[in-house]
A and B are shown apart, each in its own frame.
Chain A
């Protein structure tokens, strides 16, 4: 369901949303698939836009992995036809510039290829639009601005107000994508468009290796009971500005929690 304020904004002037989608890769089987974060971006776009959002992909793929996005209930997908080694950024920026768009959504980073997570920044900068990283939802849209929630580590959220149009990457904490249905995925239309994408010169010279998990240095806690050492070894770094209350009545503790929630903007 759309929040009420949002539906009104939408009713006045339909939001125009595009989602940039890539072909992902399953981490274990290495098989091509619908990328998880991009799918969440499509999901968010679908929940915001009563008119279907547009889907854009740069590349030459025409496989089931790409079609899976159509299975989420979209009629068509635009493929900006380019070689696998092309630089997607200028191609996307050129295309998007001519579209009447309010919001462009995409995942935080691709599941294969360069996967640097820089694409949304680069596209936004070429368009001259703001880029909001890691949003989880759009709360309302009014007066040419959108109120969005941004994901911070460990479940924290930050409320941001952004002027339209903007580019945003969608955090894995956003709602998971709806199921992709095989029938619509097969029947959906893939609209190939030529584009003047240049090969990515910088990347051509790079050498690629499979990533290896890096060893992490543990802060070894000496002394104390086994339980304390265990806790020290497994504890997550704590956020700054916290306060530990061991004294005081329940009421005082509750008030402290509430004050904190108000300060964080969770409760208003």
Chain B
């Protein structure tokens, strides 16, 4: 019969083509910078990472999660079995039956894929991705019928040359998409690249419920600082880009995209794919960068990315809010890539936009972004008589002030927190003028040299004293101290004031008499929530204050950024809306009269929104207002 020799040829031919393509792909990734990975451990961990960690994210969309299990599970099983039965000719009724089952499962899944694709939401890409459900259906149907036929479970009269010929063509088409396309950059590439990406992920700590959000340090003696060309990325970053399924979940949560700034994280990842494989973005069929045409970007592994592939505006629009990373089912690291490319722009090209240059120069000359007199950092607290750790030598809590010291609005938050600590008789002390900017802004603006200098300075200063923990009202400082100083030898127990106040409350150290505030919502700061997983403490503080938080639709790990992170207010890339306005609209939608915040940057951004709007209050302020202190009583 025709199938006897054609079937194995088809299968092994497709496999060979796939392997050739895959090898080319692997070589393209290996053009990236060397980065050691645990090969065996990674490969062994891969199935678990796929089944548990990845599915944990995919599960957020139940429909697609179930669809994917049926389709992918059916496909992998059916294909493996097909190689056994049709490829090397194992003749077994059980195996034949299993093929039929798997193909049927895959078919069912494919029907749902097709259903989703009838009117796909704008975040999904079209083009070849619209073809995929058809390919899935054709492949599963052909395999099903061919298996019936070769197993002689078909009414003999129906099997003719024409029919089996048609089935073989169907199978060939299916294999072209499903197997050959996997190696040659078709939609199914995600299965092959995705599996390896999970195995060789640059942040393996993320799997198994862990968290890894600190930026990686830059080696300041590199011949090119940061990423200029696709080949300057670590090889497993390139691999990661290739894993993208263009699901657009990142696009749907990106505040810069929603504000009409020229950034779309999905397109960015696809442009990186264009860069690593060479070519143009003409084959991209998803949403563009707002305000920019598609089809004009060109790139190849050795070409500088900002010269023709991605415009610098795109890179500077990002607030580093990590919403995209949190949402990405393939666990791609957008923020790492963006900051890597910013490092090149700032440290090689000297092209930090907007007020960024001024801010960096100020940080270099005065250790604060405003260029203010470093000897006046501690002036805000002249009347508070705060204990300097240099005088007392040691304390339970080292209160990290941050640059809020120079800002009048932030000073109100700092004073409120001092009042709370005093009410609870906390043994605390401050660094005073010895504290410097944490380096957050410098680092996110791509100036790792300045960040590293500030980090080393602060670590040296902190090393002189004895304290049990650092507490700060600034989530950015919290993140940096907790997660990014470690690479330079600074290991501390750090708490955000929300965590610390919550502890004080649980220990009954605060005597509170809550006031009625009307409807209150809570805005999760990115650097507290997504960066550090702290969603509960602030809510619990509010609850103790007798506040019933009206949650916004985008809250918790899906909180929308205020627009203040990543130096975005400094580089100030124009869009159609302001991110802060959109965020206040989120609060208006739940008719909040007060937005409780836990970050001075969020306070500044949200208070910058034109009135009438809900009032903005930091947790520290809310708590201090509810304090019953002896002096007052």
- A-side interface residues toward B, CB under 8 Å? 26, 28-29, 31, 33, 71-73, 178-184, 186
Contact = CB atoms under 8 A, between A and B. Distances in A.
Interface in B216-260: 220-221, 224-225
Contact of B365 (A29, A73, A178, A182): A29
A183 B348 contact: yes
Contact of B447 (A29, A72, A182): A182
A99 to B, nearest CB: 27
Contact of B373 (A29, A181, A183): A29
B348 A181 contact: yes
A183 B365 contact: no
B346 A181 contact: yes
B351 interface: yes
Given A29-B373, A29-B374, A182 B225 contact: yes
Interface in B310-351: 346-351
Contacts of B225: 182-183
Given A26-B365, A183-B224, A71 B374 contact: no
Nearest to B352: A179
B609 interface: no
Contacts of A71: 350
Contacts of B374: 28-29
- Counting chain B CB atoms within 10 Å of each CB, the highest count among A26, A33, A73, A179 belongs to A179
A28 B350 contact: no
Contacts of A178: 350
Interface string B139-160: 0000000000000000000000
Contacts of A29: 365-367, 373-374
16 contacts: A26-B365, A28-B365, A28-B374, A29-B366, A29-B374, A31-B365, A31-B366, A72-B350, A178-B350, A179-B350, A179-B352, A181-B350, A182-B220, A183-B225, A183-B347, A186-B221
**Most chain B beta carbons < 10 A, residue from A28, A178, A181, A182:** A182
B449 interface: yes
B366 A179 contact: no
B364 interface: yes
A186 B346 CA distance: 14
Interface in B352-406: 352, 357, 360, 364-367, 371-375
A180 B350 CA distance: 6
Nearest to A187: B223
A33 B364 CA distance: 9
A70 B348 CA distance: 12
Given A33-B364, A181-B346, A28 B372 contact: yes
Q: What 6 A-B pairs are tightest by C-beta distance, nearest first?
A: A181-B350, A179-B350, A28-B373, A26-B365, A183-B225, A182-B347
A184 B346 CA distance: 11
B347 A28 contact: no
Given A179-B357, A181-B348, 13 more contacts: A28-B371, A29-B366, A31-B366, A33-B365, A181-B346, A181-B349, A181-B350, A182-B447, A183-B224, A183-B347, A183-B348, A184-B350, A186-B221
A50 B224 CA distance: 24
Contacts of A28: 365-366, 371-375
Given A26-B365, A72-B350, A181-B349, A186 B220 contact: yes
For B351, B364, B447, the residue with the greatest tally of chain A CB atoms inside 10 Å of its CB is B364
A263 to B, nearest CB: 38
Contacts of A180: 350
A33 B450 CA distance: 14
